[in-house]
């Protein structure tokens, strides 16, 4: 899952790969990991985006695509949910901290 977070892998694809139904896989995953499959994938993608925001000058839209989000608005909303700031604010703050 960590290797394919940027691809359009669906829950059905993962469950099929594990020879389980979608429902059963989701239930087992949440029981073992403590979060839903989609939250797990979203967190992986957000974590990867932190690198791009800090180390590149790529646009938010380009970064969203690089980490597997095809809608940059959705990416920005999720980013704010997990990081409590927008991607642009996060980048600005990180760069200001490096200067100090």
Maximal CA-CA distance, the chain: 52
In eight-state DSSP terms, residue 35 is: S
The model carries a pTM of: 0.81
Residues in the chain: 100
Please report, in tens digits, the pLDDT of each residue of the chain (100 residues total): 556 555 567 788 888 989 999 999 999 999 999 999 889 989 999 999 999 999 999 999 999 999 989 899 999 999 999 999 999 999 999 988 887 6
Residue 97 corresponds to which tokens in the numbers above?
A: 């901290």
Task: For the chain, count helices (H), then strands (E).
Answer: 6, 0
Query: Class assignment of domain 11-99?
Result: mainly alpha
């Amino acid at each position: 899952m960590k290797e394919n977070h940027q691809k359009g892998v669906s829950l059905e694809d993962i469950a099929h790969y594990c020879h389980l139904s979608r429902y059963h896989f989701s239930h087992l995953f949440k029981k073992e990991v403590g979060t839903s499959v989609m939250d797990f994938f979203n967190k992986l993608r957000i974590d990867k985006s932190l690198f791009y925001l800090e180390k590149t000058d790529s646009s938010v839209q380009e970064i969203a695509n690089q980490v597997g989000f095809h809608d940059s608005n959705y990416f920005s909303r999720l980013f704010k949910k997990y990081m409590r700031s927008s991607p642009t604010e996060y980048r600005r703050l990180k760069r200001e901290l490096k200067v100090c």
